Amino acid sequence: MTQTLIPSPTIRNVHRTVLDNGIVLLVTENPAADIIATRLFIRTGSRWEPQEKAGLSHLLAAVLTKGTDQLSSLEIAEQVESVGAKLNADTSTDYFLISLKTVASDFEPILNLTAQLLQSPSFPEAEIELERRITLQGIRSQREQPFSVAFEQLRQQMYQHHPYALSTLGTEASVSQLTRADLQNFHQTYFRPDNLIISIAGRITPETALEQIEQIFGHWTVSAPPLPSLSLPSLTPHPQNAITAQETQQSVVMLGYLTSPVNHPDYPVLKVLNTYLGNGLSSRLFVELREKRGLAYDVSAFFPTRLDQSQFVVYMGTAPENTEIAIDGLRTEVERLVSVPLTADDLQVAKNKLLGQYALGKQTNSQLAQIYGWYESLGLGMEFDTEFQTQISAVTSEDALKVANHYFIQPYLSVVGPQAFVSSLS
């Protein structure tokens, strides 16, 4: 059946269609360079893993490109590298991703190869064992990095039994127990056309892209039962402290606050607050705590975009003897947002910075394919690109004060540092 490509009413050169088998296709025509970038999003990731199988989607991503029913790992690598293309798989909390980039003339054969990887990976036992060892080394390495230790214990405090509590790598215990059958079951459950988004950007017309996608993926049908529904634990803030003594050259201090998911009205306001507080050398945290007071080796804030409740985190790396002062300094700056409205100038600078960085993040074909596919995978649709910018521009000082008062009440605290300087904190 012929599909209809629907252009976005607000985004130039972007078209969306849904194939008969459920695949969502997004095409951004950009003929400026002879490059086509493609992102294939599968609506899965570590959020969909049982806690006892944490790290499953990461291990699957590591071995997905290592063999199909017809091709070996070496043959796959040769096909990609012989034309100078790029092809890789990765996972995150909220989606699984296959990325490819080619010159226009090589797009169809590399897309064919990608379809084979997506539909019929062989998961060779030897490759699974190799990637398992590499993953376990990565998990052990994280335990030697103060920032990773601090962030891990902060996540576990805040999310407890929710999948967001764990790194996408998983744990030593869970990864050690993963089997080839686990990978196959996860793949058979979630890797299906009605759970797939294909986002293409580059020198290709929407009509040609649709024709090639239908030719390569159109025969792929859904033979599995309906997608399983997730039943995740609800999250209620219960702030607590987690202190780890580790003989390091600096202490790492983190404050965390449970906040909103991406589809909540508070999301754009929190993005503005994050930019004001911790984005760049002109941010409030950097100026006040590093430049003026000399407390920080490193200081910043982050607020990741999440399907479920996100976390707003401020952190600092500081000299061990300044650990308690650093905690007070971070708390003071966050609590200032609760009691003191942002000035019109501060608010406008934060919005300009955020919108400018957002615009710079949509310059390449890879960035365009990524952002539109990502929004679709989050259930926001490609129109969110325009809506987000409008929402940011509309944030007021009153909005910022109200949202800060709602979320920034009592923080979770995570500290890693030398015993002599952190023992009194617990």
pLDDT, one tens digit per residue, over 99-125 is 999 999 999 999 999 999 999 999 999
Q: Are residues 247 and 133 in the same domain?
A: no
Q: Are residues 374 and 284 in the same domain?
A: yes
Q: Give me the domain span that covers residue 56.
A: 6-217
Q: What is the pLDDT of residue 6?
A: 64
Indicate whether 74 belongs to any domain: yes
Q: What is the pLDDT of residue 175?
A: 98
Q: Are residues 253 and 206 in the same domain?
A: no
Among the candidates 165, 182, 217, a domain finishes at 217
Calculate the CA 357 to chain-centre distance: 17
pTM: 0.94
User: 416: buried, middle or exposed (CB in 10 Å: 19+, 13-18, 0-12)?
Assistant: buried
Indicate whether 155 belongs to any domain: yes
Indicate whether 225 belongs to any domain: no
Q: Measured at the alpha carbon of residue 322, what is the angle toward residues 321 and 325, in degrees to the nearest 5?
A: 140
Give mean pLDDT, residues 209-226: 91
Q: Strands 24-29 and 196-202: what pairing?
A: parallel
Query: Quick one: pLDDT band at residue 223, thresholds 50, 70, 90?
Result: confident
The domain tally of the chain equals: 2
C-alpha to C-alpha distance for 43 and 191, rounded to whole angstroms: 8
Tokens of 214: 């239908």
Among the candidates 217, 250, 277, a domain finishes at 217
CATH number of the domain residue 253 falls in: 3.30.830.10
Q: Are residues 132 and 45 in the same domain?
A: yes
Q: Which amino acid is at 26?
A: L
Q: What is the pLDDT of residue 3?
A: 62
- Whether pLDDT at 257 is above 60: yes
Indicate whether 351 belongs to any domain: yes
Query: Quick one: pLDDT band at residue 13, thresholds 50, 70, 90?
Result: confident
Beta-carbon contacts of residue 30 (< 8 Å; ≥ 6 apart): 13, 201, 202, 203, 365, 368
Phi, psi of 316 (to 5 degrees): -150, 140
Q: Are residues 213 and 247 in the same domain?
A: no
Task: From 21, 136, 131, select the one nearest 67 (Cα to Cα).
Answer: 131
Task: From 4, 24, 19, 23, select the one nearest 382 (Cα to Cα).
Answer: 24
Neighbours of 355 (CB within 10 A): 16
Query: Quick one: pLDDT band at residue 5, thresholds 50, 70, 90?
Result: low
Q: Measured at the alpha carbon of residue 45, what is the angle toward residues 367 and 261, in degrees to the nearest 5?
A: 75
CA distance to 30, 88, 352, 372, 386, per residue, from 9 (Å): 17, 32, 25, 14, 10
Q: What is the CB-side half-sphere exposure of residue 40 using CA atoms within 13 A? A: 25
Q: What is the pLDDT of residue 424?
A: 82
Q: What is the pLDDT of residue 12?
A: 65
